[in-house]
Amino acid sequence: MRAAADRDRCAISGIGATEFSSDSGRSALSLAVEAALAAIADAGLAPADVDGIVRCDLDAVAHNDLAQALGLPDLTYWGTSGPGGAAPGGMIGQAVGAIRSGQANAVLAFRALNGRSGARFGRAGSGSGAGSGGGRRVGGGGKYDEFFAPYGLVAPGHLFSLLARRHMIEFGTSEEHLGHIALACRARANANPAAQMRDRPLTMEDYLAARMISSPLRLFDYCLETDGACAVVVTSRERAEDGPQPPALIRAVAQSAGPEPQVGFLYPTLMRKSLTTQTSKALAGTLYRRAGLGPGDVDVAQFYDCFTITVLLQLEDYGFCPKGEGGPFAASGAIDKGGSLPINTSGGHLSEGYLHGLNHVVEGVRQIRGTSTSQVPGAEVCLVTSGLPVTTSGLILRRP
C-alpha cells in the first residue's frame, strides 16, 4: 500500500535567474549567488531566513560555498540530487520532504554553470568515451564504454540520435516533426528578452539546412550551451502565502527510474526493452496519481529538451497523444502558442538556455504567476519535467 503523497502543502515562493550567455566572465559561484539573492528577495525573505540548500550533483558550487557567500547563519539542511538533468524534480522533492518533516523552513534550490565558457556538456569525454567533457561523465563513468565506444557512441547526441531514428522506423516520424519542436521553442525564445536566441528567428528551411551532427539530429535538435544560474525558494504553502508573490503550489513531485531501474546513465537507455518509451512513462503515472490530475488537466508544460527527440517522447509518455503520434501532434500546432498544450514557453533548453532543467522550473512558476513572456491565458496547472527520459523527475505546479 502506498502512502498518500502531499498535495499543495509546499510552494515555490521565489525565483531568480542571471543573464544567460555564452561567456559570463564570472565564476559559477558568482552566478549562483546572483540567482540565489534574486530568488530570496523575490520570496520576500532575507538570506538569514534560508536554512536549506539543495543542489545538482554536477554543480561546481558546493553547499558551503553558497552558504558562505550568502552569509547564511544556520544551514541545517542540505542534499544533492541527480544525476545531472534529472536533478530539479529530485531537488524540489528533497526540499518538500525537508519542510514537511520540520528539517527546514526555506530551502534554496539552485543550478549554476558556465556550460559554454567552462566545462562544456555534450562532448565526448577525453579518454572516457563516456559522454560530456570537463570531467563529467553522463554515460555512466565509463562503466559501459566497452559496449558503446567501439561503435562511436561517445557523446549524448550519439545516443539520442538512435532514439530518434528508432522512432522514425517504428512510427514514421519525420525530420520535419522534430523540426516543429525546435521551431516551437525558438518562437517562444524570440518573445523572451532573456533567451539566448531572442534575436534569432528559425524557419523550417533553416532547420533542415542546418548541419547534421548525429543523424537524424541536426544542429537545432541540440540544446544550447549556456553560462548562467537559476534558483528557486521552496517554503510551506502558508509561508509562501505571506510572501509578496502568488505562490506556485507544488501539487505533486516525483522521481522515477522506471520498471528497469537504470538511474542516471545514458548508455542504459539503449538497453531498455523499448527505445521509444522511456522512464517518463513511469514518472507520468506516479506524478498524475500523486496529483490526482491527468494530462487533460495540464494547461502548459515545460519539457526537458536536451534534444528535440526527448520532447517528442515525453508528449507520448505523459499521455498528451497516443504512442507513436508525437510527431504529428508536434506538427499540429498543439505545442505552439495558442495550442492545446503550449510547451517550453521561455524557449526551453533548445532556445532559452541550458540550465539543466532548473530554468524550466523558473518558467513554470512564471506561468502560474501569469508573468511569462509567452503567457498561457488562465494557466492553472503547469507540468515541469527534469532529466533525460532515461531517468527522470518532475513536478506539477498549480495556481492556488
Give me the residues that bind a copy of itself (CB under 8 A), please.
Answer: 1-6, 9, 57, 62-64, 67-68, 72-83, 90, 93-94, 96-103, 105, 236, 253-257, 259-265, 268, 282, 286, 290, 391
Cα atoms found within 13 Å of the Cα of residue 141, Cβ hemisphere only: 5
In the bound state with a copy of itself, the residue whose beta carbon lies nearer, of 226 and 269, is 269
The three cell numbers of residue 397 are 505546479
312: part of which helix (H) or strand (E)? helix 308-317
User: 304 catalytic, yes or no?
Assistant: yes
Q: What is the smallest separation between the CB atom of 190 and a copy of itself, expressed in angstroms?
A: 38
Q: What SS3 state is found at 360? A: helix
In the bound state with a copy of itself, the residue whose beta carbon lies nearer, of 75 and 298, is 75
Distance CA 158, CA 190 (A): 28
In the bound state with a copy of itself, the residue whose beta carbon lies nearer, of 209 and 271, is 271
User: Which candidate, 222, 369, 387, places its Cα nearest to that of 302?
Assistant: 387
In the bound state with a copy of itself, the residue whose beta carbon lies nearer, of 19 and 57, is 57
User: Which candidate, 144, 139, 176, 141, places its Cα nearest to that of 159?
Assistant: 139
Q: What is the smallest separation between the CB atom of 365 and a copy of itself, expressed in angstroms?
A: 19
Q: What is the smallest separation between the CB atom of 92 and a copy of itself, expressed in angstroms?
A: 11
* Amino acid in the structure at residue 24: S
Distance CA 385, CA 375 (A): 18
The three-point CA angle 19-20-21 to 5° equals: 110
User: Which candidate, 205, 233, 263, places its Cα nearest to that of 386?
Assistant: 263
User: 354 catalytic, yes or no?
Assistant: yes
Q: What SS3 state is found at 134? A: coil
In the bound state with a copy of itself, the residue whose beta carbon lies nearer, of 188 and 239, is 239
Q: Which of 77, 267, 304, 318 is catalytic?
A: 304
- Give yes or no for a contact between 335 and 329, defined as CB atoms under 8 angstroms apart: yes
Q: What is the smallest separation between the CB atom of 59 and a copy of itself, expressed in angstroms?
A: 12
- Give yes or no for a contact between 255 and 295, defined as CB atoms under 8 angstroms apart: no
* 3-class SS letters over 137-178: CCCCCCCCHHHHHHHCCCCHHHHHHHHHHHHHHHHCCCHHHH
Distance CA 292, CA 254 (A): 13
Q: Helices (DSSP H) in 45-123: which residue ranges?
A: 63-70, 87-100
Q: What SS3 state is found at 77? A: strand
In the bound state with a copy of itself, the residue whose beta carbon lies nearer, of 99 and 341, is 99
- Give yes or no for a contact between 32 and 62, defined as CB atoms under 8 angstroms apart: no
The three cell numbers of residue 333 are 500546432
> What is the Cα 324 distance to its own chain's centre?
23
Q: What is the smallest separation between the CB atom of 283 and a copy of itself, expressed in angstroms?
A: 8
Distance CA 71, CA 50 (A): 10
Q: What is the smallest separation between the CB atom of 184 and a copy of itself, expressed in angstroms?
A: 30
Q: What is the smallest separation between the CB atom of 234 and a copy of itself, expressed in angstroms?
A: 12
The three cell numbers of residue 267 are 548508455
Strand bridging mode 106-114 / 52-56: parallel
In the bound state with a copy of itself, the residue whose beta carbon lies nearer, of 195 and 253, is 253
In the bound state with a copy of itself, the residue whose beta carbon lies nearer, of 72 and 154, is 72
Q: What is the smallest separation between the CB atom of 264 and a copy of itself, expressed in angstroms?
A: 6
The catalytic residue positions are 304, 354
